[in-house]
């Protein structure tokens, strides 16, 4: 499932060039990995734009503290206002993962399901 976020938006959001699996294939049909090292945390975000597959790994030092992987997400997009910019991964009507990098790192996950 194609996603809304564009290559240039992820480049601006992460502030790093992606590592592409195949340099001869356009970004939309490739696998792109963005690796960002910050003082207390390292973030690795991999996306397959045409499939909507995504992996998010967050490490503190050598310790992996978050590993999130989803296939065929509903959408990936940037949400922003004057004071806030975040990457939002929509998992359908029941879920969402939001990552903010600056000015501080923040990770939010929302998941809901009816109780029967």
β-bridge pairing 85-90 and 95-100: antiparallel
Sorted by where each begins, the domain ranges of the chain are: 7-111
Task: Determine the pLDDT at residue 1.
Answer: 60
Residue 116 pLDDT grade (very low, low, confident, very high; cuts 50, 70, 90) = confident
Q: With beta carbons less than 8 A apart as the criterion, state whether 66 and 89 touch.
A: no
Q: Dump pLDDT digits (tens) for 27-47.
A: 999 999 999 998 889 999 999
Q: Share the mean pLDDT of the chain.
A: 91
74 DSSP 8-state letter: S
Residue pLDDT, tens place only, 56-101: 999 998 999 999 999 999 999 999 888 889 999 999 888 999 999 8
């Amino acid at each position: 499932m194609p996603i809304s976020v564009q290559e240039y938006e992820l480049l601006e959001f992460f502030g790093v060039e992606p590592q592409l699996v195949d340099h001869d294939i356009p970004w939309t049909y490739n696998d792109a990995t963005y690796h960002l090292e910050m003082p207390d945390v390292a973030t690795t975000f991999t996306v397959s734009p045409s499939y909507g597959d995504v992996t998010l790994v967050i490490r503190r030092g050598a310790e992996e503290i978050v590993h999130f992987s989803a296939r065929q997400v509903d959408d990936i997009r940037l949400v922003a206002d004057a004071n806030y910019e975040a990457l939002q991964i929509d998992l359908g009507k029941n879920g969402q993962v939001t990552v903010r990098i600056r000015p501080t790192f923040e990770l939010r996950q929302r998941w809901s399901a009816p109780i029967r």
